Structure 1
Amino acid sequence: YELEHAWVYVGEEGQVIRGEASWHGRYHDMRHDGQLALEGDHLVLYSEPGKHAFAPTPEWFQERRRRSKRSPTSALAGIGGVLMTHYLEGRVICTPL
């Protein structure tokens, strides 16, 4: 089962010093133009609509769309529900649409 992750590295003084996040099976440094996007002491990340990827700025998704012929999210996104694996049984409750 593929889930995306974010790692936030915190320095001795409690400040965010580094961020990494997964993107379609790989992980990347979450600095954009050498800077982390912070709101106060929280790392700001963006999730690609209808997909599974994190980025430090929506510009990353726009660049990917220019190179990829895949369509963005449509009204049918998620219609197939969640793949209920043994790992998720009892942790995720199935509900009708």
Structure 2
Amino acid sequence: MCWYISNICSSSGYKAFYSSFDISDFIIENDKFDFIEKIVGDTVMGLDLKDEILVVDDGANEYGIDLCKEYFDIIQNKLGFNNASKAIVQQDKDGPSYKDMIP
């Protein structure tokens, strides 16, 4: 599974984080939250709650199944990023589109 978090509009400019592993492999539930919190927080991306975020499942499956649901849930519902959206890119397809990336 490959996924990334892309900050598409913020006061500090465009930022992206890419990961090639799935947080569902984390055994302790709080580790998932802590990992995502560090990515979007001051440790990695330094985003504010008002910033727009795009969570992308980049071609991890051929059926368009939502594998980034867990990431998106943490970002939007637990961390409070209300300007978060997600995109699912089918296997061997390009994406997200430019239309998905513009604010």
TM-score (norm. length: structure 1)? 0.30
Whichever of the two has the greater Rg, that structure is: 1
Question: Greater relative contact order (Cα 8 A, min sep 6): structure 1 or 2?
Answer: 2
Normalized per residue, the structure richer in helix is 2
